[in-house]
Copies of this chain bind each other. A is one copy, B any other.
Amino acid sequence: MQEVALPDVDSILISAPGKVILFGEHAVVYGKSAVAASLGLRTYAWMRPTGDQTVTLRLPDICSSAIQWDLTALSDFVTSHNVVSSCEPTSLTDNKEAAAQPLLKSIAMVPGARQASLAFLHLYTSLFKEPQGIEVCVRSALPVGAGLGSSASYSVCIAAGLLALNGYVKMPKMSNTAYDATELKLVNDWAFVSEKVIHGNPSGVDNAVSTYGGAMLYTNGKMEPLNGFKSIQFILTDTCVPKNTKAQVENVRIRRVQFGPILDPLMDSMQGISNTCKDLFGALEQSDITLSDVLTGMEELVDMNHCILAACGVSHPSLERIRQLTARYGLRSKLTGAGGGGCALTLLRDDTGVDLIEKVKSELRAESFRCFETSVGCHGVRWASLPLDSKDWMDHWKHFVENRNVDWNILSNI
């Protein structure tokens, strides 16, 4: 393999948030609305053209060694498979997936890495007119597989980065966050293509929230931005009890067969919660109420929604323990996602003292829960170029690729 000099182009740094379900999990399965919002824990991708003959994908969070393909193999694959480069979002076909198998041999046994690589390969071969050497590293502050949209934020990052590298979307300089609607739609559509590779049949809400940020009302496949939604502080607590979304959805289905006249009204009640959340932020936008009023309302919604989900049978002793512990400090918590383990959200008010938050977090950690103090409703995807010869680039890349624990603060400007 021939080493060539770095081309005179910039690197791209991309970030995209995770997501949480604020309200209406499970109800959404029965045609009711859920409120999904972006999560302040983000996934970051760094891409740089190398000018060499290799495409390198580094996923240090799920795979210790770099995944590499040489351009000859990729060119052969593209040619043999008549891949036409275009920015028109195109799903991975069964034929193309089959043809890509030889390229995935090395990571076939690494959980998560195979699908992530396949999604990357599909986007790479669809968007590059001609294979070029690039190096990509993706890191995430999100716990993987915790129902927090880590795969969607990965998909959004690689979609945005590969589109930008190929000039399908503008490549702004750092700190310029004006992305136009057409660009965002293109990123979202390609991210959805990637999500389908990873998940099979995703709803599209995760990548939409990760792309656009803020909060959305999701009903029967339709998404509606929640106007007036303000970023809200939460403690996100991972119970570390493995979640099993499929099993929980099945539990609720069975319970609904057995107790329809009890469960159906609970779904209606959750629709009421999602609507009330929308109304609260609508009223805030109209300046009819204050943010403090909204938070007071949200506290009640958090409590009610958790209890209704518990009535659906999807709570867990660890989630109840988090509620009990945080309630002692006047804080309201709810499970988020499928339940039966997984994560809980604890709502913080603007006037919740730092000392109190630290105390609650330390108590939660003392019970072996993982805690993140974060926000919900933050900005969506961002991408920007950073000159390869800048000191920032050199320092950050090294830190980004090599450290087991990334200091996310150094990336806070994207």
Contacts and interface: CB of A to CB of B under 8 A. Distances in A.
Interface in A53-98: none
Interface size, A (range): 20 to 34
A291 interface: no
A183 interface: no
Interface string A319-332: 01101100110000
A324 B317 CA distance: 7
A273 B262 contact: yes
A268 interface: yes
A307 B312 CA distance: 9
Given A269-B269, A276-B259, A311 B308 contact: yes
B272 A261 contact: yes
A355 B68 CA distance: 63
Contacts of A255: 300
Given A262-B272, A320-B324, A304 B300 contact: no
B307 A307 contact: yes
B307 A317 contact: no
Nearest to A262: B272
A255 B307 CA distance: 15
A265 B269 contact: yes
Interface string A266-280: 101101110110000
A7 interface: no
A373 interface: no
A310 interface: yes
Contacts of A301: 262
A303 interface: yes
B259 A304 contact: yes
A303 B262 CA distance: 12
A324 B263 CA distance: 23
A387 to B, nearest CB: 53
Contacts of A308: 266, 307-308, 311
Contacts of A317: 324, 327-328
B269 A300 contact: no
Interface in A271-322: 271-273, 275-276, 300-301, 303-304, 307-308, 310-311, 313, 315, 317, 320-321
Contacts of A304: 259, 262, 311, 313
Contact of A311 (B268, B271, B307, B320): B307
Contacts of A276: 259, 261-262
A119 to B, nearest CB: 39
A276 B304 CA distance: 23
Contacts of A320: 320, 323-324
Contacts of A275: 261
A328 B317 CA distance: 9
A264 B276 CA distance: 14
Given A262-B273, A303-B313, 17 more contacts: A258-B300, A259-B272, A260-B272, A261-B272, A262-B272, A263-B269, A265-B268, A265-B269, A266-B269, A266-B308, A300-B313, A304-B311, A308-B308, A308-B311, A320-B323, A320-B324, A321-B324
Sorted from nearest, which 9 A-B pairs have the closest CB atoms? A261-B272, A307-B311, A262-B272, A265-B268, A265-B265, A265-B269, A307-B310, A304-B311, A307-B307
19 contacts: A255-B300, A259-B272, A259-B304, A261-B269, A261-B276, A262-B269, A262-B273, A264-B272, A265-B266, A265-B272, A307-B307, A307-B311, A308-B308, A308-B311, A310-B310, A317-B327, A320-B320, A320-B323, A320-B324
